[in-house]
């Protein structure tokens, strides 16, 4: 899972990267990408691991990419930034709500709503350029190809012409594309507005106590099916990430923060990416896995190993809360509480699965 952190200049996106990545960052400079592999906090996994007395606990891992400022002086992303953007499963768009005399906003005044709207417009223009260039190539291909290739090119043309209209109307593709098949057909174009996005409002320290209120306000204005909203003071979270947990918790209480904001934002990335989490306590390891919402048991097995999907027989399944209440996998089986599910069973968030398969 890859998330690219983007945003206007002086929005604090690198501070957000440091807050979310803690000590895992591979440091570079402002002209190059920084990358971190981050373990996603998961209380359910920890509780399941204690229940089964696992010696090894493996949470989900997220790769964060901190990219140089995009669209600076009208220039589109290129090089490392363009490659990371094309790989990313989603975006974290950082917008500035903090005020600092030693770091003036490039536009003068601090206005998160303006910055969100302007950055979205830049992403739409970026996608329009990709679509226009592809349509020009297709026009030549369709006119010069043999019948079979011509028909395939015409279908692609029709799709891109419809997509172009959405973009010309100022609409992001993530809320305009019709169904999974259409999204899959567009997946390799690197279209930014097709990717799910988490708009992250980077707060001032004095606004921490109003974090939930501010987040709710912007969610009401910008939230949609594939656009999510979060808020945190990245500067504070980055500093607290260097303290011992007890000391950091005390400091948060003094600042009016109720929970670690960085951990909360990381936990939300699953929702942003449209994923559900399932668990496999096997042997001495308890592990979390991610699979797209709506995935079948066989597809979930394939996330573990392709052989498991090919040789899938059935899955023994139980919700994590139900298992915690029973006390053990063996007792759940004894009580007949383990469900026997076939290939087409749709995996639910929090399922604990034991996959049976043959090679």
CATH of the domain at 307: 3.10.20.30
Residues 249, 251, 254, 259, Cα dihedral to 10°:
-40
Which pLDDT does position 273 carry in this prediction? 92
Residue 255 half-sphere exposure toward CB, CA atoms < 13 A:
24
Residues 270, 272, 276, 282, Cα dihedral to 10°:
-20
Of 134, 165, 193, the residue at which a domain comes to its end is 193
Regarding whether 240 and 128 lie in a shared domain, the answer is: no
Tell me, yes or no, whether 180 lies in a domain. Answer: yes
Which pLDDT does position 317 carry in this prediction? 95
Could you give the number of structural domains in the chain? 3
Regarding whether 105 and 33 lie in a shared domain, the answer is: yes
Tell me, yes or no, whether 97 lies in a domain. Answer: yes
Neighbour count for residue 320 (Cβ, 10 Å): 20
Regarding whether 221 and 90 lie in a shared domain, the answer is: yes
Name beta bridge partners: 1.
none
Kindly provide the residue ranges of all beta strands, DSSP E only, lying in the chain, ordered along the sequence.
2-6, 34-39, 56-58, 61-66, 90-96, 197-202, 227-232, 275-282, 285-292, 312-319, 339-341, 351-357
Predicted TM-score (pTM) of the model is 0.86
Q: How far apart are CA 59 and CA 44, in angstroms?
A: 10
Indicate which CATH number applies to the domain containing 161.
Answer: 1.10.150
Tell me, yes or no, whether 282 lies in a domain. Answer: no
The residue among 113, 60, 72, 116 whose CA lies nearest residue 91 is: 116
Tell me, yes or no, whether 49 lies in a domain. Answer: no
Tell me, yes or no, whether 279 lies in a domain. Answer: no
Which pLDDT does position 73 carry in this prediction? 55
Regarding whether 126 and 266 lie in a shared domain, the answer is: no
Tell me, yes or no, whether 283 lies in a domain. Answer: no
Chain centroid to CA 10: how far?
23
For residue 290, give Cα distances in angstroms to 62, 105, 138, 344: 11, 38, 37, 17
Of 272, 304, 321, the residue at which a domain comes to its end is 272
Tell me, yes or no, whether 88 lies in a domain. Answer: yes
Q: Which residues of the chain have pLDDT under 50?
A: 30
Which pLDDT does position 75 carry in this prediction? 56
Q: Which domain holds residue 322?
A: 294-357
Q: How far apart are CA 11 and CA 18, in angstroms?
A: 14
Give helix 147-168 / helix 112-144 axis angle, nearest 10°: 160
Regarding whether 140 and 217 lie in a shared domain, the answer is: no
Of 172, 193, 214, the residue at which a domain comes to its end is 193
Name beta bridge partners: 353.
317
Q: How far apart are CA 212 and CA 240, in angstroms?
A: 19
DSSP strand pairing (312-319 vs 275-282): unpaired
Contact between 232 and 240 under an 8 Å Cβ cutoff? The reply is: no
The residue among 281, 321, 282, 314 whose CA lies nearest residue 300 is: 314
Q: With 0-12 CB in 10 A as exposed, 13-18 as middle and 19+ as buried, what is 128? A: middle
Regarding whether 72 and 181 lie in a shared domain, the answer is: no
Regarding whether 199 and 183 lie in a shared domain, the answer is: no
Regarding whether 205 and 70 lie in a shared domain, the answer is: yes
Which pLDDT does position 203 carry in this prediction? 93
Regarding whether 235 and 91 lie in a shared domain, the answer is: yes
Regarding whether 215 and 76 lie in a shared domain, the answer is: yes
Which pLDDT does position 137 carry in this prediction? 86
Which pLDDT does position 26 carry in this prediction? 53
Regarding whether 321 and 225 lie in a shared domain, the answer is: no
Which pLDDT does position 280 carry in this prediction? 95
Regarding whether 322 and 198 lie in a shared domain, the answer is: no
Tell me, yes or no, whether 285 lies in a domain. Answer: no
Q: How far apart are CA 89 and CA 103, in angstroms?
A: 31
């Amino acid at each position: 899972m890859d998330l690219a952190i983007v945003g206007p200049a002086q929005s604090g996106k690198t501070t957000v990267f440091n807050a979310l990545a803690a000590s895992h960052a591979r440091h570079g400079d402002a002209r190059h990408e920084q990358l971190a592999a981050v373990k996603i906090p998961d209380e359910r996994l920890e509780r399941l691991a204690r229940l089964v007395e696992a010696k090894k606990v493996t949470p989900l891992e997220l790769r964060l990419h901190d990219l140089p400022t995009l669209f600076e002086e009208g220039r589109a992303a290129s090089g490392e930034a363009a490659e990371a953007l094309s790989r990313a499963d989603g975006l974290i768009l950082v917008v500035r709500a903090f005020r600092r005399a030693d770091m003036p906003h490039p536009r003068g005044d601090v206005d998160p709503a303006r910055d969100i709207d302007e950055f979205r417009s830049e992403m739409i223009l970026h996608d329009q350029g990709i679509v226009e260039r592809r349509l020009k190539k297709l026009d030549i291909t369709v006119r010069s190809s043999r019948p079979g290739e011509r028909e395939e090119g015409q279908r692609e043309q029709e799709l891109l012409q419809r997509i172009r209209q959405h973009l010309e109307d100022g609409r992001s593709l993530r809320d305009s594309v019709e169904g999974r098949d259409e999204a899959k057909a567009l997946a390799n174009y690197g279209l930014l507005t097709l990717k799910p996005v988490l708009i992250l409002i980077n707060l001032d320290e004095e606004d921490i106590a109003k974090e939930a209120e501010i987040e709710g306000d912007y969610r009401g204005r910008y939230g949609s099916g594939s656009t999510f909203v979060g808020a945190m003071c990245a500067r504070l979270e980055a500093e607290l990430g260097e303290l011992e947990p007890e000391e950091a918790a005390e400091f948060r209480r003094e600042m009016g923060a109720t929970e670690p904001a960085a951990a909360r934002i990381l936990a939300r990335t699953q929702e942003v990416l449209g994923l559900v989490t399932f668990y496999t306590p096997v042997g001495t390891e308890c592990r979390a896995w991610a699979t797209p919402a709506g995935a079948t048991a066989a597809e979930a097995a394939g996330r573990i190993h392709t052989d498991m999907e090919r040789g899938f027989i059935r899955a023994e399944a139980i919700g994590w809360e139900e298992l915690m209440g029973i006390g053990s996998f063996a007792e759940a089986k004894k009580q007949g509480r383990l469900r026997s599910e076939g290939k087409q069973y749709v995996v639910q968030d929090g399922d604990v699965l034991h996959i049976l398969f043959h090679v």
